[in-house]
Chains A and B, each alone.
Chain A
Amino acid sequence: MNQPDTRIKALKGMHADNVAVILNAAKAGELILIDCNGNTETLICAGGVPSFHKVATANISQGDAVIRRGIPIGLATQAIQKGELVHVHNIRSQRAQIGTS
């Protein structure tokens, strides 16, 4: 119990979010400890996630909304597995899209 907690920490804003922001870089296979307003959950990192980037806390299908703090921040452009990096390579904004309005 006196050992320092060396697990990678991440913050999730709301229970129903499907991403969390990690505070320190995580490698594949590392355990990530997620804090969601005092409740904790864990997940295994499925690929490199740099510090302050987002990690999927659930499987996200192509075309599904990525939700952070209860707000859709974009649509998944491909299937994203739980534990994978969520960033501009696999999500797309729904706002101010040129040629869509």
Chain B
Amino acid sequence: MNTATRERTFLGYKRQQGQPGIRNTLLILNVSGLTQPAARKIQAALSGAVMVSMPHGNAITGDNDTQVDAILLNLAANPNVGAVLVLSSDERRAPLFQELLSDYGKPCKYLSLGDCDRDIITFTQCAIRMAARLSIEISRQPREICALSELTLGLQCGMSDPSSGIAANPLLGILSDAHVDTGGTVIFSETAEWLGSEKAVADRAISKPVSDAIMNSVTRRERLAVAAKIDLLGNNPNQANIDSGLSTIEDKAIGSIAKSGSQPITSLLKFAERPATAGLHAMDGPSFSPESLTGLVATGAQIMLFTTGCGNSYVSALCPTIKITANPTVASTLGDQIDFDCSGLLTSDLTLDAARTRLQDEISAIASGALTLGEVLLEGDEVICRFGESL
């Protein structure tokens, strides 16, 4: 059968609003510092729950705490989240998350220390009971057939080497092109890794405003680096990148942007912003994997395609992350941390098209419930960016 015409599917969790999930995770969303230690205990008491924590105060300066709350809300809105338990020391933050409940139609409960007479032991016990009931509730939901085009793919590279740029990232590029052709959504980021190639990225924008926004986002980050006296050499590219053969940021960027393929770029999203339409989108965000992945999760991506050349064990806690390498040595020495070995692109006659078909099959399997190594090894986390100090 012609793979170009057959609609690819997976078994996912349909949601009342928006795209289907590929996992049905209970999210323990801790939004205050006082309750973070208890949140850790609550998460550890439950099977399969993921904790995301923002331990800093409400009065964050800089790009302000509204931005942080938007990230938290968008993380909870990710389709892989089946239910949410919000924990806080401050009961006044409840209305924000009740709004989430009404918008996305997913079970959401809220518990504050004030609800428990500021007794942390009572708080912990209450939260475990509430979370256990939410877990039971969402566990009854069956997986159903969904079109693969309902997936938003997040693209990331980390601990890259030249094999990333010449093989693994071009593979993501043609996969991204094919996914967009079927009506799917793809998001790439890591703005500092467009340096030197930003014109090639901006030239693919669907409009002048999007093109200008891309150019401005690169200029802004370049100025940030200069103002902070951060020498990109040794930082991005980092020492492992350099030891593997990458030289300057411009050299690294050529490989990094290859992930994004050749489709038109529909919009430049802010960090953690949800795209309004399908298609290929760029997100203005930091390059380092933990922050970047969390931003991509907040855009609504259900699955991450993560290339590495030197080896990188870090994954998203909420989105299954397929670790991909084209480096034959790493595929062999770090085989237990690599989900998809495409080193045949460099060592045998494996073609990009054949590798793309295999990777699409892998995406369908993992979207349907097959586990990634990062999930099995519990190497996932989510980190929230801060934009300024707290009052």
- A contact set with B: CB distance below 8 Å: 11, 13, 21, 23, 50-54, 68-69, 71-74, 86-88, 91-98, 100-101
Using Cβ atoms and an 8 Å threshold, which residues of chain B touch A51? 245
Interfacial residues of chain B within 235-257, with CB under 8 A of chain A in the complex: 242, 244-245, 247-251, 253-254
Using Cβ atoms and an 8 Å threshold, which residues of chain A touch B250? 71-74, 93-95
- Chosen A-B contacts, 5 in total, with CB atoms closer than 8 Å, are A51-B245, A52-B161, A52-B309, A71-B197, A91-B248
Please encode chain B, from 29 to 57, with 1 for each CB lying within 8 Å of some chain A CB and 0 for all others: 00000000000000000000000000000
A-B contact count (CB 8 A): 81
Using Cβ atoms and an 8 Å threshold, which residues of chain B touch A53? 162, 245
Using Cβ atoms and an 8 Å threshold, which residues of chain A touch B166? 11, 21
13 further A-B contacts with Cβ under 8 Å, apart from A52-B163, A54-B245, A88-B242, are: A52-B162, A52-B309, A54-B247, A71-B254, A73-B254, A74-B247, A87-B242, A88-B248, A95-B250, A96-B225, A96-B232, A97-B226, A98-B229
User: Of the candidates B244, B245, B247, B249, which one forms a contact with A95 in the assembled complex, judged by CB atoms under 8 Å apart?
Assistant: B249
B369 close to chain A: CB less than 8 A: no
Using Cβ atoms and an 8 Å threshold, which residues of chain A touch B229? 98
Using Cβ atoms and an 8 Å threshold, which residues of chain A touch B244? 52
User: What's the Cα separation between A22 and B204 when bound, in Å?
Assistant: 30
B385 close to chain A: CB less than 8 A: no
Decide: A98 near B245, CB < 8 A? Known: A11-B166, A93-B232. no
Using Cβ atoms and an 8 Å threshold, which residues of chain B touch A95? 195-196, 222, 232, 248-250
- B231, B250, B327: which has the most chain A beta carbons within 10 Å? B250
Asked if B226 contacts A96 (CB within 8 A), the reply is yes
B213 close to chain A: CB less than 8 A: no
Using Cβ atoms and an 8 Å threshold, which residues of chain B touch A86? 247
User: Of the candidates B163, B233, B245, which one forms a contact with A93 in the assembled complex, judged by CB atoms under 8 Å apart?
Assistant: B233
User: B329 — nearest CB in chain A belongs to which residue?
Assistant: A51
Question: Chain A's nearest CB lies how many Å from the CB of B166?
Answer: 6
User: What's the Cα separation between A41 and B124 when bound, in Å?
Assistant: 69
B147 close to chain A: CB less than 8 A: no
B223 close to chain A: CB less than 8 A: yes
User: What's the Cα separation between A69 and B327 when bound, in Å?
Assistant: 20
User: What's the Cα separation between A13 and B200 when bound, in Å?
Assistant: 15
B278 close to chain A: CB less than 8 A: no
- B contact set with A: CB distance below 8 Å: 161-163, 166, 195-197, 200, 222-223, 225-226, 229-233, 242, 244-245, 247-251, 253-254, 309, 327, 346
Q: Which 4 A-B pairs have the closest CB atoms?
A: A93-B248, A52-B162, A52-B245, A53-B245
User: Of the candidates A11, A74, A100, which one forms a contact with B248 in the assembled complex, judged by CB atoms under 8 Å apart?
Assistant: A74
User: What's the Cα separation between A74 and B230 when bound, in Å?
Assistant: 18
Question: Chain A's nearest CB lies how many Å from the CB of B252?
Answer: 9
Question: Chain B's nearest CB lies how many Å from the CB of A96?
Answer: 4
Asked if B226 contacts A101 (CB within 8 A), the reply is yes
Asked if A73 contacts B196 (CB within 8 A), the reply is yes
User: What's the Cα separation between A98 and B346 when bound, in Å?
Assistant: 37
Decide: A74 near B251, CB < 8 A? Known: A11-B166, A53-B162. yes
Question: Chain B's nearest CB lies how many Å from the CB of A22?
Answer: 9
User: B161 — nearest CB in chain A belongs to which residue?
Assistant: A52
Question: Chain A's nearest CB lies how many Å from the CB of B261?
Answer: 15
User: What's the Cα separation between A74 and B242 when bound, in Å?
Assistant: 14
Asked if B247 contacts A96 (CB within 8 A), the reply is no
User: What's the Cα separation between A21 and B161 when bound, in Å?
Assistant: 11
Using Cβ atoms and an 8 Å threshold, which residues of chain B touch A92? 248
